[in-house]
Amino acid sequence: MQIYLYLVSYCILIIGISIYLSRSSTKEDFLIGGRNRSGWAILFSKFAGAIGVSTLITYTGYAYKFGWGLFAMSIGSVIGYLLFAFWAAPKIKGLSLKGNFYTQGDLPAFVTNNTTTSLITNIITVVVQFFWILLSLAGGAKVIEYFGLFSYDISLIITASVVLIYVLFSGFKAVIITDIIQAVIIIIFLCLLLFNMFDLNDFTTIISTKPSESVQIGSILGLTLYGGLSVFGLADRYQLCYAAKDIKSLKKGLGLAIIPVLFIAFLLLLVGLYVYQQNAGLDPDMVFIYAMQNLVSTSWLPILLVLFFAGLMSTADTSVFAVSSHLIYQSSEKRKVLLLRYTTVITIIIAFIIAHFWKSIVDITIVGAALRMTLSVAMIYVIRNKKNSGRFIASALGGVTGLIIGLVIFGPKPTIAITVLLGSLLGLIYRSK
């Protein structure tokens, strides 16, 4: 009974906050957070959007397999965060103040003075973000089902319903505010679970543990390339830029967001190394689940359940809003809020149906990761204030073509990121008049 009480309390809190926010929200609050979000709000929203259930599993698996090599593999993320925060974000914010942007496609349309660039960008963005809705819903539901806490379908229904309700009430403002709460829950609850898992006296032994496998330079270079580029292809980063109060707040929020991400990575490093001490023969993908099942007292399951749902919702809501807002970008100003609510309902229903049948998290993750890179080179091109629409379009379509070719040749494997990047770069050769 206690486990359900924790979850119900969490859901009521999230929904209650969104209802309260809706009472004083304006159209701009709903559509883009009022364009007055503080640095701290940007920080926690960026962090919460980056840490989902799949992150907990992946980082712990890397730590179990490579130990401290986990941080060598995270170099790309650090580079990507800092490059976007201190180089790209100020430029994006400055341009958005001139053009009153709402979607990712508004930026290239403004710079190139070509509306086709906006259409192509937003179509690709919808596909990219939809994959991350599927990953959030399917990945989180599978983990919760594995623990026997809820069935897969019940987990999907709970998550989709709660996200739908609070996005419908308060839009992007709710996404940002609830991200703050979810970020705090993720950090505090993960710390509590680690405190229950092992004695602090074992800390020195744990951090000195060395798994048998070392990370290869190729993996480091590949992930560095991916981490540095993929951040430029995601719509939520651009929408956070538009929502920020000013450039100073934006740089502070996005720049400092890497600190809690690295802190979570360190906590998961401890989990991975501790599990390696206990059992060195596990599948890395099962390490986090093994730790929570075998090394944490069952009395802590309510905390674990809320942690899972917080991680699941913090990534799902961002992607849901991104898909919905980009689908209605051409609608009239008066009808944007109403249409966004309709598309939110449709988006979540479609995602629920697909996630019900397509449960292959590995395939979804790999294809989704490659999709994140399709727009990266093209977006960097316009952030540099380059105005040739032909090069932008060719680079974006080149990335998509590279993805399709990669899928045909290699299937859903990490290698397809190379064909995506090559296609994007080759597209820049073309230049329209």
Question: Is pLDDT at 410 greater than 80 in this prediction?
Answer: no
pTM for this entry: 0.87
Domain topology for 2-357? Sodium/glucose cotransporter (1.20.1730)
pLDDT of amino acid 364:
57
Residue 283 three-state SS = coil
Instruction: Give the tens place of pLDDT for each residue, 174-183.
Output: 889 888 899 9
Contacts of 151 (CB under 8 A, 6+ apart): 145
Residues 201-225, mean pLDDT to the nearest whole number: 77
The CA-based angle 168-327-107, given to 5 degrees, is 110
Q: What is the structure's pLDDT at 219? A: 66
Cα gap 248→181, rounded to integer Å: 23
- Percent of the chain exceeding pLDDT 90 equals 29
Higher pLDDT, 44 or 222: 44
Residue 361 pLDDT > 60: no
**So what's the pLDDT on residue 80?**
86
Q: Is the pLDDT of residue 9 over 70?
A: yes
Mean pLDDT (the chain) is 85
- State the Cα–Cα distance between residues 354 and 350, nearest whole angstrom: 6
Q: What is the mean pLDDT of residues 113-124?
A: 93
Token duo for residue 288:
């986090």
Whole-angstrom distance, CA of residue 405 vs CA of residue 420: 9
pLDDT at 413: 66
pLDDT for residue 1: 62
* pLDDT at position 92 over 90: yes
- The predicted pLDDT at position 362 comes to 52
Give the per-residue pLDDT at 58. Answer: 81
Q: What is the pLDDT of residue 359?
A: 63
Tokens of 123: 């179509």
Residues in the chain: 433
Domain locations in the chain?
2-357
28-32, 222-226, 293-297, range with the lowest pLDDT: 222-226
Residue-level pLDDT at 246: 92
| 99 has pLDDT over 80 | yes
Q: Quote the percentage of the chain above a pLDDT of 70.
A: 94
